[in-house]
A and B are shown apart, each in its own frame.
Chain A
């Protein structure tokens, strides 16, 4: 299946002193440069759009009359447009950029037919634009995480299939037999996402199943988008960047493989815990709860592995823009996953269900974990694609601190406020309206956190486009990659 290039002396392109073979990484980076740039620019565009929509939705949660003049600015539409802009706009575009780049590097396989990849990317973003406009104009479906109207989804599915093929082709024509753990995560996610999306579209939108089966399918899909798409892509990035930046192999490769396979086997069952208390068979919910608790295995394994890989090198982690974000994301993964397993327990779920606790949990996972790791991936990838240095260390620090403080405020506010809300809702002596009014201070705190996050995103966008157009950017000398020699300042 694979093409081995190991020579008679047992050398590989990774160990040889041959300049031609060593230049392989640069060739691979160059092969994906245009497509990756397109995806990163698109991702940042959606990040900014999603941020504006998020601010609108956050303010409207405690100021219902805010921007309520127009139908397209009502909470239901703005909130769903925000979710899809962030998940499918920011999330998928940045995955296509960073994930495919890492896959190509690990497979030592340049991306061929770049033009078609670019066209597929354009189709994805056109389809998503149509979908977001559809949501805002009122064509929204009533299914959470699948709100995009049916006329936009075929284009999304088709363009994704074209993009996913590139990842598969890179793996198919990889050099060497070994499959690094990041490749396992990326390859699996490339197959998992279309499976989830197409099955959910068919069973809920195109040929709806009867009754509660739709709900089961809905949460099977929605929870697995996080666990079998965003999570593996972020973990693949972390498993590549932590050892790569530190120059130290991952603490235990055995644990990393164990973590991947336990995720692959257990996560698929966990989504049903969103329907605890719902009118579906109890055994099905119990299976979901068991799987959710079993997720402690891969989470602890990944947590130990990441922690032990950076032990003794905390100063180096702090000095690296990439690892500041990646390690923040890795720590968040451990926390959010353990909290998620606890939330699946019936007694805990009786309090957290239908409260802001769940909203806080979702942002903990998608932002504090996934997005922060992807920010780190962009900080490592871009200097190697452009052979330029990031122009401003100050903007990187502003980006990190604004996002770290912002998401911490949001998660704490929504989870503490959500827990209180749940306790009050379970108390029959407290009027429901009172429980709603008591959430307002926590919702205002979320709006404050949104301002922090906006500042961080603006700093990130300014630094990125400044670097892209090279105004004042420090250029590296010519060489296989930026890392080999740097004119001045730090390395990339």
Chain B
């Protein structure tokens, strides 16, 4: 490729830089909004009263009937 033809690559280079800039900007925004603090608490936000932490919420259908209809997990983190 001739040296002057490198200008053909400018749109791609611009896009790459723009992409990178947007990613860094979003990272800055998330840091400012406190998204990068208190990770332990944030990891538990997916659990609900209906689908709580500490209980298995999925198994194959037509299994033998359980006493309370749910499987209780037995691991020590709870």
Q: Give the secondary structure class of B's interface.
A: loop
Q: Given A211-B5, A213-B8, does the pair A199, B51 have CB atoms closer than 8 Å? A: no
Q: Report whether B8 and A210 are in contact in the complex, using a CB–CB cutoff of 8 Å.
A: yes
Residues of B within 8 A of A203 (CB): 11
A249 sits at the interface (CB 8 A): yes
Provide the bound-state CA to CA distance between A484 and B51, in Å.
8
A210 CA / B62 CA spacing, docked (Å): 61
Would A280 and B1 count as touching, CB distance under 8 A? yes
Any B CB within 8 A of the CB of A189: no
Interface residues of A in 232-256 (CB under 8 A from B): 240, 243-250, 252-254, 256
Cβ contacts B28-65/A at 8 Å (1 or 0 each): 00100111100110111111111111111111111101
Distance from B36 Cβ to chain A, minimum over Cβ atoms (Å)? 6
A147 near B: Cβ within 8 Å? no
Chain A residues whose CB sits within 8 angstroms of the CB of B58 once the complex forms: 245, 320-323, 379-380, 491-492
Contact A393 B61, beta carbon cutoff 8 Å: yes
The answer to whether B62 and A393 touch across the interface, beta carbons within 8 angstroms, is: yes
Cβ of A488 to closest chain B Cβ, rounded Å: 6
**What are the residues of chain A within 8 A of B30 when measuring CB–CB?**
179, 184
How many residues in A have their beta carbons less than 8 Å from beta carbons of B?
A: 79
Are A483 and B42 also in contact (CB < 8 A) when A391-B61, A489-B65 are? no
Q: Is A481 an interface residue (CB 8 A)?
A: yes
A249 cross-chain contacts in B, Cβ below 8 A:
40, 43-44, 47, 53
Instruction: Determine if B36 and A257 form an interchain contact, defined as CB atoms under 8 angstroms apart.
Output: yes
Expressed in whole angstroms, the Cα–Cα distance for A264 and B26 within the complex equals: 10
**Are A247 and B55 touching (Cβ within 8 A)?**
yes
**A-chain residues with CB within 8 Å of residue B46 when the two chains form the complex:** 106, 180, 182, 240, 243-244
User: 4 nearest interchain CB pairs?
Assistant: A490-B63, A253-B39, A253-B43, A490-B59
The chain B residues found within 8 Å of chain A, CB to CB, are: 1, 5-6, 8-9, 11-12, 15-16, 19-20, 23-24, 26-27, 30, 33-36, 39-40, 42-63, 65-66, 69-71, 73, 75, 77
